Amino acid sequence: MSPVLAGILQLLALIVALGLSYVPLGDYMARVYSSDKHWRVEKWIYKGIGADPDTEMRWPAYLRGVLAFSAAGVLFLYLLQRLQGVLPGSLGFSAIDPDQAFNSAASFVTNTNWQSYYGEQAMGHVVQTGGLAVQNFVSAAVGIAVAVALVRGFALPHSRLRSSGGTPIRTGELGNFWSDLVRGVIRVLVPFSVIAAIVLVACGAIQNFSGIHEVGQFMGGSQQWNGGAVASQEAIKEIGTNGGGYFNANSAHPFENPTPFTNLFEIFLLLVIPFALTRTFGRMVGSLKQGYAILATMATIWVGFIALMMWTEFAHHGPAFDIAGGAMEGKETRIGVGASSIFAVSTTLTSTGAVDSFHSSFTGLGGGITILGMQLGEIAPGGTGSGLYGMLIMAIIAVFIAGLMVGRTPEYLGKKIGTREIKFAACYILITPALVLIFTAAAMALPTPGNSMTNSGAHGFSEILYAYSSAANNNGSAFAGLNADTQWFNTTLGLAMVLGRFLPMVFVLALAGSLAEQKPVPATAGTLRTEKPLFTGLLVGAILIITGLTYFPALALGPLAEGLAS
């Protein structure tokens, strides 16, 4: 079988698996976040943290919950790393340096999972399992909670009025953050991860708490390996679109990703919740067709990027490429070009950041596709929760553009998109590009950061651009070739991760509150039909044009220049 055909068949199998899980998982999550009943274990948690899960929150209170919980997570994970040298089960590893501890704490709490360290040479069992793995669960649950809050802004009764002294007031309540957080972990992420971990163990991924072993090498000498709870962390790493690997080689390591089947299974895991959330969205707003329109937009971009990636990685680049069956440099022979292309596109179009290949070794244009995937805002299908709310922000922008074309006040799902709403949406789409471009420019202008580049010229610039695109978009994958374990990069990338995660959430929740306060707008003959293919096309165009205009100059200096020169 030719490598091209093998890649296409794997893509088709993946689409079938995602299609089969779409309805049951999407409907299940809609029930989870719409139910007014609490499980017994959830009640114990609420009692332990002193939260009332039935108290409705307006957007400022919901945001305070998000920020307070995340700040506590950063502090706890930072201290855990700094104290690693005196903790049991740390395999003899010393405490993590302050700048790297800050970077890693910010990374895992923000669902980025950028790693400037070698996992098997720096983190013991306590930090890996009690710190990093825990954040994999809760950071993903925070993302879903914020997305659900925005959906409620559209979906809850459009004029939730209460009487106060005979005067009706609009409450603008979005649910309860603590309830959404706990349900996301207990009812969605934990059971799904248990099943996935069992599958991975059955297929060869390791799961233990063994110490460091010295293993003889075929050509003489020895090498040290340590075990760990790899399969369980691998499961939530993909399901929660986290991406941080137990080992430095990440999903290219055979302990994490042993076979071609587990490779395809892990791609399925990182895509299934973000895609299924569009069904949850449609169910909660009372129109499945609206969810299908968002799904179609995500799927169009995802399939289009995979087609481009396969074209550039399989394209004729000389005799060596033809003999190898494509651009095999930096790719695992057991996985191949096709599966590596699917993984690379899927991990950069979501906020996963896991890698099964060396992105720096992709062709110039192939590397550019991975960078552009992150720069789109990771919305096709995006991260757990963040992909959905990012796409809904873009839908509001598209509706606004359509309204300008016909001279009509834009509406989306029965809510007017006025000055206030469009300001929130505009701030959302401007924050991340500003972070990426400002930090990249500073790193290229200053003398010290440039010393971390392995390559010069266009490829070296791509290393820096990729790093800040990955951090600010909360992806976490690395282009490789860049020594990011310096005080400059640990600090600035950490800041980019924190600002790139929580500043957009401020505007998402503010927008949700604004929408929740509105009265319904009845549909008329002039209302844009946002469930139709025409709107899907408009939305795809708006995403590509806005991103292209923002990042094209930077891309032209890096991957485009390299690709056209090769």
Tokens of 526: 């002039």
The torsion of the CA quartet 430, 435, 440, 445, rounded to 10 degrees, works out to 100
CA–CA separation, 251 and 347 (whole Å): 11
Single-letter residue type at 517 = E
The reported pLDDT for the residue numbered 324 is: 62
Closest by alpha carbon to 452, among 473, 474, 480? 480
Structure confidence at residue 160 (pLDDT): 43
| Least confident among 11-25, 85-99, 298-312 | 85-99
CA 429 vs. chain centroid, Å, equals 16
- Note whether 478 and 114 are within 8 A (CB): yes
- The mean per-residue pLDDT over the stretch 170-180 comes to 87
- pLDDT band, residue 66 (cuts 50/70/90): very high
285 has pLDDT over 50: yes
> By C-alpha distance, which of 274, 268, 241 is closest to 111?
241
SS3 of residue 330 by DSSP: coil
**Contact assessment for residue 114 and residue 476, using Cβ atoms and an 8 Å cutoff:** yes
Residue with more model confidence, 349 or 559: 349
What's the rounded Cα separation, in Å, for the pair 200 and 195?
9
Residue 181 CB contacts under 8 Å (≥ 6 apart), including other chains: 65, 69, 138, 141, 142, 145
pLDDT reading at 317 higher than 70: no
> Is the backbone of residue 347 left (phi > 0), alpha (psi -120 to 50) or beta?
alpha
pLDDT digits (tens, 9 = 90+) for 5-37: 989 999 999 999 999 999 999 999 999 999 999
pLDDT at 522: 79
Indicate whether 161 pLDDT > 50. no
User: How high is the pLDDT of residue 91?
Assistant: 85
- Residues facing 226 on adjacent strands: 212
Residue 149 reports pLDDT greater than 90: yes
Identify the pLDDT of residue 440: 95
- The region of weakest confidence among 129-138, 166-175, 195-204 is 166-175
Phi, psi of 497 (to 5 degrees): -65, -45
The alpha carbon dihedral of 179, 140, 125, 261 has a sign of: positive
DSSP 8-state secondary structure symbol assigned to residue 318: -
210 confidence band (pLDDT: 50, 70, 90): confident
Q: Which of 317, 324, 358, 319 is nearest to 341 (CA)?
A: 358
Residue 222 is predicted with a pLDDT of: 72
Cα 275 from chain centroid?
12
Average the pLDDT over each of 139-148, 282-291, 326-335, 357-366 and give the range with the smallest value: 326-335
Residues 129, 125: Cα–Cα separation, whole Å: 6
The residues, ordered by sequence, that sit 6+ positions from 66 with a Cβ below 8 Å of its Cβ are 142, 145, 146, 177, 502, 505, 509
Residue 95, phi then psi, degrees to nearest 5: -65, 150
Other beta carbons less than 10 A from residue 418's beta carbon? 14
Enter the tokens of residue 452: 């971390």
Q: Tell me: the pLDDT tens digits for 422-469?
A: 999 999 999 999 999 999 999 999 988 888 888 888 888 999 999 999
CB 245 within 8 A of CB 256: yes
Average pLDDT value over all residues in the chain: 90
Highest mean pLDDT among 153-167, 221-235, 314-328: 221-235
Q: Is 478 exposed, middle or buried (0-12, 13-18, 19+ CB in 10 A)?
A: buried
The answer to whether residue 320 scores a pLDDT higher than 80 is no
Residue-wise pLDDT for 104-121, tens only, equals 999 999 999 999 988 888
Return the SS3 of 49: helix
For the ranges 58-62, 198-202, 212-216, 486-490, the lowest mean pLDDT is seen at 212-216
CA angle 395, 383, 227 (to 5 degrees): 175
